């Protein structure tokens, strides 16, 4: 079903934009590269485990990059009936047609942050260490909700104040949500370098502002990284 859905979406996009490039979760190999031209990224089912357990935190995610940067995103959560979309050109981001914006939380005592948990022990231990550091810094709450795309939407609309993934996410998990987040006034970066997020790096940290972003980045840098962090396997 997921593979067929990917092809349905990609074929529709190709009909409208025949000169663009396309990357899909079910149609691209492990070594796919991202060029500078317009490239669509499609995830037909983000939150597969949630879907299998009838947990409603699942979505369809479609994003567009130019110069390897996210510029447009559309994410639909069918069970919640929430449609998010945004463009990084000053027009803002929206949920079901209503403008959204990130929260104004700037201190850990009021912040709620989401993350994902890897299945490989060496990376799981590292992730738990980051979580321990955040909680030691009086973070208000931490959530593991199972959909990177919807976590980014959560930050964009103020339900969450931050989200981070250290391991294993893919470009189609991040692209659309990153565009929506940026359109809603948020920030997103690489948690290791603190610089602009690289969509092919398999990691990201997103936040409502630079204060919360720094909180997570500092927690990551407080830990000893596993070896070969840049080639982490998928979760």
What three-state secondary structure class fits 51? helix
Asked if the model's pLDDT at residue 1 lies above 60, the reply is no
CA atoms of 32 and 171, how far apart (whole Å): 10
pLDDT (tens digit per residue) in 18-53 = 999 999 876 665 567 898 999 999 999 999 999 999
pLDDT confidence of 166, banded at 50, 70, 90?
confident
Can you list the positions of beta strands (E) in 96-169? Answer: 98-100, 112-115, 141-143, 162-165
pLDDT at 232: 42
Mean pLDDT within 161-189: 95
Burial, 44: exposed, middle or buried (Cβ in 10 Å; 0-12, 13-18, 19+)? buried
pLDDT at 31: 66
Mean pLDDT within 69-90: 96
pLDDT at 224: 66
Q: Distance from CA of residue 49 to its chain's centroid?
A: 17
Mean pLDDT within 60-69: 96
Count CA atoms closer than 13 A to 113's CA, side-chain side: 35
Mean pLDDT within 172-183: 97
∠ CA 63-67-72, rounded to 5°:
25
CA atoms of 97 and 118, how far apart (whole Å): 34
Cα-Cα-Cα-Cα dihedral of 201, 128, 194, 208, to 10°?
100
* Helices 121-136 and 210-221: angle between axes, nearest 10 degrees: 130
Asked if the model's pLDDT at residue 89 lies above 80, the reply is yes
Asked if the model's pLDDT at residue 140 lies above 80, the reply is yes
Contact 127, 166 (CB under 8 A): yes
pTM confidence score: 0.91
Mean pLDDT within 135-148: 95
Number of other residues whose CB lies within 10 A of the CB of residue 135: 14
pLDDT at 120: 72
Asked if the model's pLDDT at residue 78 lies above 80, the reply is yes
The residue with tokens 């994003």 is 63
Count CA atoms closer than 13 A to 35's CA, side-chain side: 8
What average pLDDT does the structure give for the chain? 90
pLDDT confidence of 125, banded at 50, 70, 90?
confident
% of the chain with per-residue pLDDT over 90: 73
Residues 6+ apart with CB under 8 A from 62: 9, 13, 40, 41, 42, 43, 73, 74, 75, 176
């Amino acid at each position: 079903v997921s593979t067929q859905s990917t092809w349905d979406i990609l074929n529709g996009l190709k009909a409208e934009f025949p000169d663009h490039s396309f990357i899909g979760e079910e149609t691209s190999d492990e070594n796919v590269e991202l060029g500078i031209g317009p490239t669509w990224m499609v995830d037909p089912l983000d939150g597969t485990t949630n879907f299998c357990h009838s947990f409603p935190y699942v979505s369809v995610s479609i994003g567009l990059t130019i110069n390897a940067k996210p510029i447009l995103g559309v994410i639909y959560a069918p069970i919640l009936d929430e449609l998010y979309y945004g463009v990084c050109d000053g027009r803002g981001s929206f949920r079901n047609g209503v403008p959204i914006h990130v929260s104004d939380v700037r201190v850990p005592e009021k912040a709620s942050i989401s993350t994902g948990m890897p299945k490989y022990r060496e990376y799981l231990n590292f992730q738990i260490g980051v979580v321990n550091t955040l909680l030691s810094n009086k973070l208000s709450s931490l959530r593991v909700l199972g959909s990177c795309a919807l976590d980014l939407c959560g930050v964009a609309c103020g339900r969450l104040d931050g989200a981070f993934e250290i391991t294993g996410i893919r470009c189609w998990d991040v692209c659309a949500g990153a565009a929506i987040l940026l359109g809603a006034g948020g920030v997103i970066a690489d948690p290791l370098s603190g610089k602009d997020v690289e969509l092919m790096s398999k990691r990201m940290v997103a936040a409502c502002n630079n204060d919360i972003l720094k909180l997570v980045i500092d927690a990551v840098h407080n830990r000893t990284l596993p070896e070969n962090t840049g080639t982490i396997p998928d979760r």
